[in-house]
Chains A and B, each alone.
Chain A
Amino acid sequence: MAAGAGTAGRLLRLRAAGAGGRWRRLRGAGVPRGFLQPASAGEDTAQSRRVAHFTFQPDPEPLEYGQTQKMNLFQAVTSALDNSLAKDPTAVIFGEDVAFGGVFRCTVGLRDKYGKDRVFNTPLCEQGIVGFGIGIAVTGATAIAEIQFADYIFPAFDQIVNEAAKYRYRSGDLFNCGSLTIRSPWGCVGHGALYHSQSPEAFFAHCPGIKVVVPRSPFQAKGLLLSCIEDKNPCIFFEPKILYRAAVEQVPVEPYSIPLSRAEVIQEGSDVTLIAWGTQVHVIREVASMAQEKLGVSCEVIDLRTIIPWDVDTVCKEECFLNLEAPISRVCGYDTPFPHIFEPFYIPDKWKCYDALRKMINY
């Protein structure tokens, strides 16, 4: 993670997630920022069909939260952060490069609006970022830390697992860092290779004391992020980076929350249950329609949303073991680091999911 090469590497890799190599460059700026502007709906569909392994399916416009606005996922994140800083004077946002708006533009405009003591850069040091965030939270102030890529969360692993997660328990509830939220871009992006593609939620899935959340869409992202920030426990919020621009839908302008530890049944079904989180939800949605069309199979589609503590009741009733007609099938990446050129073969795409479903039906 040498600052120079690493940063350059990261900037290069920001080439339009899903833009199929097309990139608009702003004159003079070192960072090719153009591609980070939200694409229009028409362009979006074209982009996603061309390159991505999924098709983002927006949810219907939510009507119960007041006025909505078209936002992509990073804008939904900005909106959530904006709402938080407006409402809570103790809230601060910090991490690498957040001051100018962040490498994924999630914090654009916030420093100007809220001041440099509230939105600021830190030195390049993930263990420091999380440790610092814990300290802010221990005093009761709201700390929103950004880890630039989930792949870089590991130096902070000790702080998260040994400190943040255990703060309340080990002190007998004298102290806690519940007002800490860590947000981080997550997951495959088409060209991220080993260090810009990782989905490390499994490392945290068995760590009591923290919550880990992954949204599938802009609307989900804003509501879940706001819940994480409000939640009185330290939370990690992973943002599927491939969806930052590719996912666009109507999102309420005002704050709202989506409950944590509650999975969502997106589609009812009677034959097979498909479960995923983040980007993969869109893959399995497509697999569900393929299954209906080609096999006449009715699929239940569940977005897990919170990885820990997870919604056991929605996913499996206590007697489900005796009721399963086939063993549970897991479709995921291979047990290798995330490769670059081989990404199309590595990821659990709809064909692999469909094939697993087909085998399961024929079990």
Chain B
Amino acid sequence: MKGQPPVSPRRGAGHRGLLAKMAVAAAAASVWGPSRGLGQAGLLLLRRTGVRGLARSQPERQQQQQQHFSSLDDKPQFPGASAEFIDKLEFIQPNVISGIPIYRVMDRQGQIINPSEDPHLPQEKVLKFYKSMTLLNTMDRILYESQRQGRISFYMTNYGEEGTHVGSAAALDNTDLVFGQYREAGVLMYRDYPLELFMAQCYGNVSDLGKGRQMPVHYGCKERHFVTISSPLATQIPQGEDACPGPAVGAAYAAKRANANRVVICYFGEGAASEGDAHAGFNFAATLECPIIFFCRNNGYAISTPTSEQYRGDGIAARGPGYGIMSIRVDGNDVFAVYNATKEARRRAVAENQPFLIEAMTYRIGHHSTSDDSSAYRSVDEVSYWDKQDHPISRLRHYLQSCGWWDDEQEKAWRKQSRKKVMEAFEQAERKLKPNPSLLFSDVYQEMPAQLRKQQESLARHLQTYGEHYPLDHFEK
């Protein structure tokens, strides 16, 4: 992006590091050597270096200091912070009234605001954005309905957040590893995960790559570098250095060691960001210098809990600097803003081996899941506003139309076509059998332990006698 990027606290480490080393030397000197001579000489050395260090990087401050203090013996030496003294008691006021500004490229009508921020993506690519978002939306409607009809057990829609998925996915390389929470199906959609496989996982049928082990929407795809979703929240975050960030961070560290030129992206909601795992992930990513993008979908609700009950600070973006992490807040319903921010974050995360935090502001238009009825805790009007006035799909459609790349006729045709594709995949998925029950037992370990094999055999015997009481007809023999 434009202008000089703000210096992250890490960048000051050199100056601080030197001071720290001198401080240790001085301390050691006073322990070992005679307390007077050597100690004082040590401190003198420290002072000189201190002055030079200051003079090179912060001339103004040094001047001010010389005005107020007679000697520089007084500079803070604490290893824990690089900061000046202050003699006035003042608490820092958290700024939540005018928080971190929200970066956007398009206005709510899909018009570019600042032409220099327009990514000037080719028509083909922008159409792919649009088709991915709308196909996802169509699939969501049909699968949500199918749960209502008892055909699948559970579903979660992505209404209103399609822009966050597609904008970010488009800015990554196809081999960048994705750790999601559970509301990022658009990332897979953008990476051309076939409808057949989305459906297979929701139905738990023989085609499910996950072998029917998990509830619907817990997708995973090794080929598309999308790590299988897990339910516990925020657990993917440390991993990604899963809804824990930890694993995401670990994966990013390994990618750095392997010189893979890969970034890891870890998605989570503003609710999951309250988990201890999120804190752990951020801190590890920063201290271990991992090429990772933390992408927070702040959609206003964690089931029924509004953000006012989730946090009191300025959202998630404001936490980044506390960890020493480059951070930005974007309009999540503006697919170009999401794209631009993710693109730049990716470039720098890989080039500089440091984490980036993107907080994408958006709104969860749908219920939390099929087990939720959000009219119990929010007004229909509120939801309707977002659906009608600020939706990522309509904003992009306006943009496409104003470029002359889309019109009402194409819209009609595409709606029909996408619905047909989804229905076909859906009907096929429903007809398929479930996997053989023996698959209940595999993959616990890489090899099947003897005890588990005995249990597998015992179930097989049990079914021979009592099979009529089990839905064996729906399962592969």
A175 CA to B177 CA in the complex, in Å? 12
User: Is B208 an interface residue, CB under 8 A from the partner?
Assistant: yes
A128 with B443: in contact, given A139-B251, A172-B209 (CB under 8 Å)? no
Q: Which of A44-52, A96-104, A161-169 is the interface stretch?
A: A161-169
Complex contact B284–A178 (CB within 8 A): no
Q: A168-B443, A170-B214, A309-B449 are in contact. Are A159 and B238 (CB under 8 A)?
A: yes
Tell me the complex Cα distance, A208–B444, Å.
Answer: 7
Question: Is B392 among interface residues, defined by CB-CB distance under 8 A?
Answer: no
Residues B245 and A131 in contact, CB atoms below 8 Å apart: yes
Q: Does B221 contact A (CB under 8 A)?
A: yes
- Main SS at interface, chain B: mixed
Contact present for A174 and B222 (CB under 8 Å):
yes
Given contacts A139-B255, A168-B446, A171-B210, contact A134 B283 (CB under 8 A): no
- CB 8 Å contact bits of B236-269 with A (1 = contact, 0 = none): 0111111011111111111101100000100000
Asked if A313 lies at the interface with its beta carbon under 8 angstroms from chain B, I say yes
Among A117-125, A264-272, A287-295, the one that faces the other chain is A117-125
| B-chain residues with CB within 8 Å of residue A123 when the two chains form the complex | 280, 283-284, 287
A158 within 8 A of B: yes
User: Cα distance A320–B214 when bound, in Å?
Assistant: 38
* Interchain CB contact under 8 A, B213 and A131: no
Query: By the criterion CB–CB under 8 Å, are A175 and B222 in contact?
Result: yes
B211 engages A162 (CB within 8 Å): no
Chain A residues near B249: list those with CB within 8 A.
128, 131-132, 135
**When the two chains form their complex, are residues B235 and A163 in contact, meaning their CB atoms are under 8 A apart?**
yes
Residues of A within 8 A of B32 (CB): 28
Please tell me which one of the listed residues B246, B287, B452 contacts residue A135 in the complex, with CB atoms under 8 A apart.
B246
**Contact indicator B280/A127 (Cβ below 8 Å):** yes
A127 touches B276 (CB 8 A): yes
Q: Indicate if B205 sits at the interface (CB-CB under 8 A).
A: no
Instruction: List chain B residues, Cβ under 8 A from A173.
Output: 211, 442-443
| Contact call B283/A125, Cβ cutoff below 8 A | yes
Whether B209 lies near A137 (C-beta < 8 A) is no
Once A168-B446, A261-B449 are accepted as A-B contacts, the answer to whether A162 and B230 lie under 8 Å apart by CB is yes
Are B31 and A135 touching (Cβ within 8 A)? no
Q: Are A141 and B258 in contact (CB under 8 A)?
A: yes
Say whether, besides A135-B250, A135-B253, A163-B235, A175 and B220 are in contact (CB < 8 Å).
yes
Question: Is B423 an interface position by the 8 A CB rule?
Answer: no
Q: Which residue of A lies closest to B289 (CB)?
A: A117
Q: Does A224 contact B (CB under 8 A)?
A: no
CB-nearest residue of chain A to B211: A172
Nearest CB to that of B238 among chain A residues? A131
Complex Cα gap A182–B66 (Å): 53
User: With a CB–CB cut-off of 8 A, which chain A residues contact B279?
Assistant: 125
A163 to B245, CA, bound (A): 12
Given known contacts A137-B250, A139-B254, A139-B255, is B277 in contact with A128 (CB within 8 Å)?
yes
In the complex, per-residue mask of B262-305: 1 if CB is within 8 Å of any chain A CB, else 0: 00100000000000110111011001100000000000000000
Closest Cβ–Cβ distance, residue A261 to chain B (whole Å): 7
**A309 and B445 form a contact (CB under 8 A):** yes
Q: CA–CA, A284 to B283, complex, Å?
A: 45
B227 at interface, CB cutoff 8 A: yes
The winner among A123, A155, A171, A208 for most chain B CB atoms within 10 A is A171
A209 adjacent to chain B (CB < 8 Å): yes
Q: From residue B79, how far is it (CB to closest CB) to chain A in Å?
A: 14
* Cβ of A130 under 8 Å from chain B: yes
Within the complex, what minimum Cβ distance (angstroms) separates B238 from chain A?
3
Chain A positions within 8 Å of B264 at CB level: 135
Closest to B223 in A: A174
Residues of B contacting A232 in the complex (Cβ-Cβ under 8 angstroms): 445-447
CA distance A233 to B448 in the complex (A): 11
Residues in A whose Cβ lies below 8 Å from that of B340: none
- Does any Cβ of B come within 8 Å of A248's Cβ? no
Q: Which residue of A lies closest to B251 (CB)?
A: A135
Among B212, B228, B245, B283, max chain A CB count under 10 A is at: B228
Is there contact, CB below 8 Å, between A174 and B210? yes
A129-188 contacts to B, CB under 8 A, are 130-141, 143, 155, 158-159, 162-163, 166-178
- Say whether B450 faces chain A, with CB atoms less than 8 Å apart: yes
A92 at interface by CB-CB < 8 Å: yes
Smallest CB–CB gap between A349 and chain B, Å? 32
User: Does A312 sit within 8 A of B, measured CB to CB?
Assistant: yes
**CA A66 – CA B287 in complex, angstroms?**
42
Interface contact A233-B283, CB-CB below 8 Å: no
Q: Which of A135, A211, A313 contacts B247 (CB 8 A)?
A: A135
Contact A135–B252 (Cβ < 8 Å): yes
Q: Is the CB of A169 within 8 A of B449?
A: no
Given contacts A28-B31, A138-B251, A208-B444, whether A128 and B238 have CB atoms under 8 Å apart is yes
Q: Is the CB of A172 within 8 A of B253?
A: no
Q: Does A67 contact B (CB under 8 A)?
A: no
Are B230 and A134 interface neighbours, CB within 8 A? Answer: no
Instruction: Contact check, A134 vs B232: say whether CB atoms are below 8 A apart.
Output: no
Asked whether B16 is an interface residue with its Cβ less than 8 Å from the other chain, the reply is no
Q: By the criterion CB–CB under 8 Å, are A138 and B227 in contact? A: yes
Cα–Cα, bound, A155→B264 (Å): 24
The residue on A at minimum CB distance from B257 is: A117
Instruction: Look across to chain B and name the residue whose beta carbon is closest to the beta carbon of A122.
Output: B284
Residue of B242, B257, B445 with most partner-chain A CB within 10 A: B445
| A166 close to B230 (CB less than 8 A) | yes
Minimum CB–CB distance for A122 against chain B, Å: 6
**CB contact under 8 A between A163 and B230, given known A128-B246, A132-B246, A309-B449:** yes
Give the distance in Å from the alpha carbon of A24 to the alpha carbon of B141 in the complex: 72
B451 CB-CB contact with A under 8 Å: yes
Task: With a 10 A CB-CB cut-off, give which of A163, A177, A233, A309 has the most chain B CB atoms.
Answer: A163
9 pairs across A/B with beta carbons < 8 Å? A128-B280, A128-B281, A132-B284, A134-B247, A135-B254, A163-B232, A171-B210, A178-B446, A208-B452
5 pairs of A and B residues whose beta carbons are closest in the complex? A131-B246, A135-B250, A131-B238, A128-B280, A135-B247
| Known A123-B284, A128-B249, A131-B238; further 8 A-B contacts with Cβ < 8 A | A134-B246, A139-B255, A141-B258, A159-B277, A162-B232, A163-B235, A176-B446, A309-B449
Binding site for A on B (CB under 8 A): 31-32, 177, 208-214, 218, 220-222, 227-228, 230, 232, 235, 237-242, 244-255, 257-258, 264, 276-277, 279-281, 283-284, 287-288, 442-447, 449-452
